[in-house]
Amino acid sequence: MKGLSLIIPLFCFFTACQPKPTKKEILEDKVHAQIDSIEGNVAVAFLNLSDPSDTLYINENEEFHAASTMKVPVMIELFKQKEEGKINLNDSILLINEFKSIVDGSSYSMDIGDDSDDVIYNKINTQVALKDLMYNMITVSGNLATNVLIELVDAKKVTATMRDLGAENIEVLRGVEDQKAYDLGLSNSTTAKDLLIIMEAIATNKAGTKEDCNDMIAILKDQRFNDLIPRDLPKNVEVAHKTGWITGVHHDAGIVYLPDGQSYVLVLLSKNIQDSDKGTQQLADISKAFYDYMAH
């Protein structure tokens, strides 16, 4: 009985000494559990802009098809070339639906049925302002607008500018719907870490002048597709973000602004998603976990 009487107090002593998990550890456990429940591959990158030492990375260096998230680097390059005096965003350009494949220079055209910006097709063969094309490229993810702008600024220069910002792996090779390039595996790619670096650069005025970064944020806040990062957040939370999706792929990268003045960058990338609707909700749940962590 003496041995037993010793065991019970010792057991109580050791269990009482177990440290309570920190708020950050609870977040990490929750996010890992949420990712484990998703049928597919997921990467997450988080940075608390109010405390840059507060980060969370999961599969942050894994490569993903960039889908439409690559339109943010194109926007940054447009503002850069504006500052360099190479272009004027108020100028207009003749909108032509004809592009050259990066494989062999052969021509291809965009299909209105594959574009989320169908209004712009009524403006083909007319003059359209560069700033309007840029706005549609981001807010409604217009593919025709994107291709016109990429040809204007040059995809190689877009990638070079991302390297200057510290994004080491993102590759902007081409515009959208270049089937010959896609068949050869020549697609735009990114990592969650790189998209976080890019969004942080916009949030902290490193992606251009303060005025230009403010303009970029305003455009990103007008995003029409809000079913990932902002989906389950309160209405008074502002999100400046860019989504991207193709079959089995759903991304969102954004800057989240809380009413109390705090802000954070969150990147959610996914591929091989088996159930699109379920996967979208599960990714939105991850976003909500980060909001709860920051807000409470």
- Tell me the whole-structure pTM to 2 decimals: 0.92
Q: Quote the CA–CA distance of 249 and 40 in Å, as a whole number.
A: 9
pLDDT at residue number 145: 94
pLDDT above 60 for 2 = no
pLDDT at residue number 178: 87
pLDDT at residue number 16: 52
Q: Are 148 and 131 in contact (CB under 8 A)?
A: no
Averaged over 269-273, what is the pLDDT?
97
Q: Please, what is the average pLDDT of the chain?
A: 92
pLDDT at residue number 245: 94
Q: Work out the percent of the chain whose per-residue pLDDT is above 70.
A: 94
Structure tokens belonging to residue 30 = 């929750």
Q: Quote the CA–CA distance of 275 and 259 in Å, as a whole number.
A: 34
User: C-alpha angle with apex 161: 192 to 217, nearest 5 degrees?
Assistant: 65
Q: Are 233 and 255 in contact (CB under 8 A)?
A: no
Per-residue pLDDT tens over the stretch 146-198: 999 999 999 999 999 999 999 999 999 998 888 899 899 999 999 999 999 99
Averaged over 69-86, what is the pLDDT?
98
DSSP readout, 184-251?
TT---EE-HHHHHHHHHHHHTT-SS-HHHHHHHHHHHHT-S--SSTTTTS-TT-EEEEEEEEETTEEE
pLDDT at residue number 119: 78
248 against 114, higher pLDDT: 248
Q: How far is CA 41 from CA 27, 57, 61, in A?
A: 19, 14, 13
Q: Which amino acid is at 209?
A: T
Top-tier CATH class for 21-62+191-296: alpha beta
Residue 170: CB atoms within 10 A of its CB come to 25
Which residues have a Cβ under 8 Å from the Cβ of 194 and sit 6 or more positions away?
Answer: 162, 167, 168, 169, 170
Averaged over 36-63, what is the pLDDT?
97
Averaged over 94-119, what is the pLDDT?
86
Per-residue pLDDT tens over the stretch 116-148: 777 788 899 999 999 999 999 999 999 999 999
pLDDT at residue number 153: 97
Q: Quote the CA–CA distance of 162 and 201 in Å, as a whole number.
A: 10
pLDDT above 80 for 115 = no
Averaged over 260-285, what is the pLDDT?
96
Residue 2: CB atoms within 10 A of its CB come to 6
Per-residue pLDDT tens over the stretch 200-254: 999 999 999 999 999 999 999 999 999 999 999 999 999 999 999 999 999 999 9
Q: Which of 109, 158, 152 is nearest to 131 (CA)?
A: 152
Fold topology of 66-169: Beta-lactamase (3.40.710)
- With bands split at pLDDT 50, 70 and 90, how would you rate the model's confidence at 94? very high
Q: How far is CA 149 from CA 14, 39, 67, in A?
A: 64, 35, 16
Strands (E), the chain: 41-48, 55-58, 64-65, 92-94, 99-100, 107-108, 127-129, 189-190, 238-246, 249-257, 263-271
Q: What is the separation, in whole angstroms, between the first and last Cα of the chain?
A: 48
The segment(s) of the chain belonging to CATH 3.40.710.10 are 21-62+191-296, 66-169
- With bands split at pLDDT 50, 70 and 90, how would you rate the model's confidence at 17? low
pLDDT above 50 for 1 = no
Q: Quote the CA–CA distance of 90 and 127 in Å, as a whole number.
A: 12
